[in-house]
Amino acid sequence: MEVLTRYDSAVIFSRVSSPTLGTLLRHLVELLDDAVEARYVASGLDYRPRFTPVVRALLELRSASIRVIARHAGLTHSAASQTVALMTRAGLVRSHAGDDGRERVVSLSPRAVGMVPELKRLWATTNAAASELDSELTMPLSSLVQEAIRALENRPFGERIEHLARDHKKPKRVA
């Protein structure tokens, strides 16, 4: 049996009659992030796409707690914390105790600041490629994703699942 180390469209669409939304979304994100990460590598940067929201937040804020970074970047506290930990190991951020000593304040390291001009160039190219992709679709992916996020913020997916699970458990009436 073949073991896949990444999502493969040929496998997904030839072996799975109806791939689930989660499988399709993971595959889409992999296709996008792998290409973006390859550009970072080709440019000689030790950088991952998931770092971008934190870097952008710190470019605007200069320094901030993980809580503030998360809020500013639209990330969960957990995602921001995990990303900052990865960035610390990569030497892209540094931190120090905040004024009250209870939270850490994070800022970009000199190494990260040195990457910013190249990152901005790559971000512009990536955004242009995303716009090109949007133009090839029946509905721009960026618009569809924003619409889906708004719908899920109005009515979370878990609530939808729970509602349908309750309805599914109800015995069917026999006439």
> According to the model, what pLDDT value does residue 3 have?
45
Domain boundary among 109, 125, 145: 109
Give the structural domain span for 4: 1-42
Q: What is the pLDDT of residues 52-67, one digit of tens each?
A: 999 999 999 999 999 9
The pTM of this model reads: 0.80
- Give 96-133 pLDDT, tens digit per residue: 888 887 888 999 999 999 999 999 999 999 999 999 99
Span 137-161, average pLDDT: 95
CATH number of the structural domain spanning residue 82: 1.10.10.10
* Count of domains observed in the chain: 2
Q: What is the DSSP string of 3-63?
A: PPSS--HHHHHHH-SS--HHHHHHHHHHHHHHHHHHHHHHTT----GGGHHHHHHHHHHSE
